[in-house]
A and B are shown apart, each in its own frame.
Chain A
Amino acid sequence: MGWHGGDTCHCVKVGIIPNALDMFVSNILIFCINSLFVICNSLMNIPLKDVREYFLPTRASEVLKLIKREKGRCFLLAGGTGLNFGSPKGVTVIIDLSRAGLNYVRETSGGISIGAATPVCEILRNPLFSSYAGGMVRESALSIATTPLRNLITAGGNVMQVFIWSSLPVLFLALDARFRVMGERNGLIRAEEFFSAQPRRLVGTCSILKEIILPATSECDVGAFMKFSKTETDFALINAAVFLSVRGGICKKARIAVGAVSPMPVRLAAAEKVLEGQPLSDKLIDDAARAGVSGISILRDIRVSEGYKREILPVILRRCLKMVSERAKGNC
C-alpha cells in the first residue's frame, strides 16, 4: 500500500500539479519547438532560394541554347505553382518560358495545337474549346485549382510534372493527344508513351515540350471530364475523362482515362472494350463502369481509403459515360 501511495504522490507532483519551475521549463520547450517549426516551415517555403540569374527568353530556340549553356544548374519555369511541392537542389538559374512564344492555341488541319506555355485560363477563354469534344477540355481546365492559379498554371507545366491529382494528363490521355518536343529529342510522342513515366524524365533535360496537339473531331466525337473532390477547388480524389466516337448510336471508339488512382493517369482498356462496337444504353454504361474498376490497382491515399476509391470510381465513370451518351443523342 505504502509503495503504491508513494508512487501516486510522485505522479501528482510531476504530472498533474506542476510547480512554477516545471511550467517555466515546459513553456521554454514549447517555445523552442514552435520556433523550430516556424523556421523549418519558412525555409521549406522558399523554393529555388539559391537562384542568382533569371532569364526571360523570347524564342524557343533561345530556351534550348540557354539549357545547353546552363546545364545542371537551370530550372525551366512554366507557371511556377508546382514549386509548392518541392524544387530541385543546386539551381542557380531560372529560365522563364512565359515569353518564349509558346503561349498560343491554334486550329490546324490535324486538330488543335496548344502551346506548352499557354495558361489554363487561355484554354477556358478560347472559343475553339466551347464545343470541342462535347466541352470536355473546358470541364478539365475548370477543374484545376482556382481562378488566380489558373492564370498562372500552364498546359505544359501541368503535363510535364504530373502530380497524382493533375487534370490535363487524364484529359490528354483520353483524347489520344500528341506531344511535340524539341531539342535533343525532336518529334511527336503519343499520349500513352508520354504518360508511361514522369514526362520530365522522358523528355530529358536538353529538350522542351513545344506543344500539345489534340485530334480533329466531328460533332459525334464527344466526351466529358469529371473531377471528384471534397470541395470544388480541392485536389482530385478521382479524375475521369471519357471520349467516345458515336455513329448511328453505336460506340465506334472509346477512350477512358482516370487519374488520382495511381501516380500516372491510366487508360481503362477493359471498359473501352465493353463499349466499342455496341449501341449505347444504360445497361452497357453500367457494364463498362463495372469493367473499368475490375483489375485496376488503386494506390493508397492519405485522404481516403483504397476501398472508398474502388467504390466511388464506377459511380464517377457511370456519371461521365451518361453525360457523354446524353451529349451524343440526337445527331449521332
Chain B
Amino acid sequence: MLLKVKINGENKVLKIAAGERLLDLLRREGYFSVKEGCRQGNCGACVVLLDGRPVNSCMVFAARCEGREIITTEGLGTPAHPHPLQEAFVNAGAVQCGYCTPGMILSSQALLAENPAPSVEEIKTALDGNLCRCTGYVKIIKAIQDAAKMHRGG
C-alpha cells in the first residue's frame, strides 16, 4: 500500500506493508537518527515527533501516519547549522555514546515548543520515556535548560 506522509517538511509517497512499523519505515528510508532499542516502547531511542508530539515509532504502525507530519532529528538542524538544542547538548557534554540523544532531543523539542521555561521537574516528566545508560541525566537536563534560555534570548 502507498503512504502519503510529510517527513521533515518534505512530502513523500512511500510503499509500505500493512503491518509495518514506523521505526522500520524510517530507517529503511535512511533516517538513521531513529534508533532501534528495546522495540517495546520502553527506551525512547526510536522517538520521533508525530504531528509535534513525541511517540515511540516502534509502537506505531506506519499506515497510521497517512497524511500526518513526522519530524526526526535530521529535520531539526544540519551539521553546519545545528538546532539550539543540538548545540546545547554538545556544549553541555550531554552526549556520550549518543544512542539515546536523537530521542532525547526530540522529546526536549516537544517540551520547549509547549513550555519555553520548564522547571527541572517538568523536564524530568517530559524525558521519562527516554533512557540514557551513560550520562546520568544531569548534563541532559542542563542542556535543555541552556537551550530554553537560548530560545528565550537569555
Contacts and interface: CB of A to CB of B under 8 A. Distances in A.
Interface string A215-241: 000000000000000001100000000
A152 B1 CA distance: 23
Interface stretch (A49-57, A131-139, A165-173, A275-283): A49-57
Interface in A63-81: 77, 79-81
A261 to B, nearest CB: 24
Contact of A151 (B55, B66, B128): B55
Given A54-B63, A148-B55, A233 B18 contact: no
B60 interface: yes
B18 A53 contact: yes
Interface string A80-100: 110110000000001010100
Interface residues of B, number: 27
B132 to A, nearest CB: 14
Contacts of B125: 142, 147
A145 B18 CA distance: 27
Interface residues of A, number: 30
Given A80-B60, A84-B40, A232 B18 contact: no
Nearest to A231: B128
Nearest to B42: A146
B84 interface: no
A53 B64 CA distance: 12
B117 interface: no
A32 B98 CA distance: 31
- Residue of B44, B55, B60 with most partner-chain A CB within 10 A: B55
A51 B18 contact: yes
Contact of A232 (B50, B66, B128): B128
Contact of B59 (A49, A51, A52, A81): A81
A102 interface: no
7 closest A-B pairs by CB: A146-B129, A51-B19, A54-B63, A148-B129, A54-B18, A151-B53, A148-B54
Interface of B: 1, 17-19, 39-41, 44, 47, 50, 53-56, 59-61, 63-64, 66, 107, 125-130
Given A148-B47, A148-B130, A233-B129, 14 more contacts: A45-B39, A48-B19, A51-B19, A54-B1, A56-B64, A84-B40, A96-B61, A96-B63, A96-B64, A145-B129, A146-B44, A147-B128, A148-B44, A148-B56
